[in-house]
Amino acid sequence: MSDHFERLMVLVRHGQSEGNAGDIFTGWDDPGLSHRGFIEAEYAARAIGNTRFDIAFTSCLTRAQETLRQILNEIGQNDVRIIQSANLNERHYGELAGITKQEARSLWGEDRVKAWQRSYASAPPGGESLRDTLARVVPYYITTILPHLLRGENAIVVAHGNSLRALIMALEGIDRHRIATIEIPTGSVFSYQMNADGTIEKGAIDLDGDV
């Protein structure tokens, strides 16, 4: 990726966590990266290449913070200012947190668990829906991340599958039915070139590397 962009926002889902490796619903639980997760962070850095960042954003969860630190170290930008916020945290999975997906299906049934995982408005007991997640992610993006982009800065955001799904849903105007089909694998890297009015240009910028 070239370094000449302005108003570029690079989004990264954290590398595989120990929870992902165990097929566990994690949510706000706080495992670190697995060995594979650190490798995925290295691949993400390779994809990002020599783009210069002015600001970095991440959640309050270890797996996202470790991914961001690994990326910044790999691309030689450890001096970038990092802002952490729980608004970028993964969905809160309530009673699902800490149990395997197979255990959840045994307790509540496959259809119900699938709806909790993928749908827009359905929330697990004691947890958040994607709609609830969007309600904290998007205002944070508008009030805290977007102003940096409008000043011509480049930002990297390292977060989670559902917090990024919520942000992408808002940015691209994806409806509640289509969002259920979108999944963001661990270590994924994609970017948005922002216009001066805060809208996004059509299509993502191609990334170098193999992620």
CB-facing half-sphere around the CA of 61: CA atoms within 13 A: 29
Q: How many CB atoms within 10 Å of residue 207? A: 19
DSSP per-residue string spanning 136-184:
HHHHHIIIIIHHHHHTT--EEEEE-HHHHHHHHHHHHT--TTGGGG---
What is residue 22's three-state secondary structure?
coil
Q: What is the DSSP letter of 49?
A: T
Report, in this order, helix, strand and coil percent for the chain, each rounded to 5. Answer: 45, 15, 45
Identify whether 66 is a catalytic site residue: no
Strands laid side by side in the 8-13 sheet: 81-84, 55-58, 155-159, 8-13, 189-193
Q: What is the DSSP letter of 204?
A: P
Please pick, among 40, 42, 66, 90, the residue that the annotation labels catalytic: 90
Please pick, among 14, 92, 148, 160, the residue that the annotation labels catalytic: 14
Identify whether 177 is a catalytic site residue: no
Enzyme catalytic residues: 14, 90
